[in-house]
Amino acid sequence: MVEIKVKCAIDRIPSGTVMDRDKMSDISILLLNLGPPNLTTMLYPATPHPVNEELTRPSASFRKEVGKVLLAIFFFLLVYLLLLFLSVLLTIACFYGGIKILTAGFSIFTVLGGLGLMGVGVMVFIFLVKFIFSFSRTDRSSYVEVTEAEQPALFAFIRQLTTDTQTPFPKRIYLSNEVNAAVFYDSGFWSMFFPVRKNLLIGLGLVNAINLSEFKGIMAHEFGHFSQRSMKLGSYVYQVNRIIYNMLYDNSGYTGFLQGWAEIHGIFAIFAMMTAKIAQLIQWILRSMYGLLNKSYLSLSRKWNFMPTP
């Protein structure tokens, strides 16, 4: 029995993955490039033809769940735009009141009072839009990126599969020691409106427990997420959740600024407290929205993962 360590980039997997050649599956051979140049052609399982379109057509119940999620997203946007509109009105009112106070007479109290009132409007508006500047990046510390130069057989296999499924080729392909396969991507607020190329993650723990036809089926399922409209829907839900999370929990910098503002003077402390109370009211509204949206999406996601992908 001869043990072969995973070659090329794969030997950088943190767990120090070791494969036993006598027990290696076909896909392990594919990943290791242990074969002639035409290995991909020989091992690529045939694609069934023709495929009954009825099998991949969304059911009435699935379309109903999609409608519920879209309605929840629309309701959130409506509530958020209303809050944003009210914050703009508040900012205008605070500036109007602040200017009135400043022009009423020059003193330390009128200056601090006028500036403090204007600060309330500005800080509430910032609280509602600060998520635009945040960005979410998937932790890749335990992943190993592989290139076509390192794994030409794997890339040829994936490229043929993307051709068969009529989906775009992944931006990058990563390997991990997990029993998993997944699609992931980095996202920010603007990814809701502009296309984001997805990355493919292949877990070697999964690879060595399945045969080549099963591997092809799992990869085809993942590529289905590349093309499904529900993947885009999932992106919208994810971004809405990030917006809510940002306003509910990612407030260390914002809170620190309010604290520093309050420590300048007692008058500013009063206005900082007012700002915090308004922010807490917004958070209470958003918590209700979070529950409504995710209850609808969880119901959809159960159907989504079991729905055949075209």
Grade residue 73 by pLDDT with cuts at 50, 70 and 90: confident
Which of 90-94, 169-173, 279-283 is the most confident on average?
90-94
pLDDT at residue 117 is higher than 90 = yes
Could you report the per-residue pLDDT of 276-287, keeping only the tens digit for each?
Answer: 999 999 888 888
Least confident of 32-36, 83-87, 237-241: 32-36
Phi, psi dihedrals of residue 199, rounded to the nearest 5°: -105, 155
The whole-number average pLDDT for the span 130-146 is: 79
The reported pTM is: 0.61
The whole-number average pLDDT for the span 40-53 is: 67
Report domain extents, the chain. 3-43+137-227, 73-134+250-306
The whole-number average pLDDT for the span 218-236 is: 67
pLDDT at residue 302 is higher than 70 = no
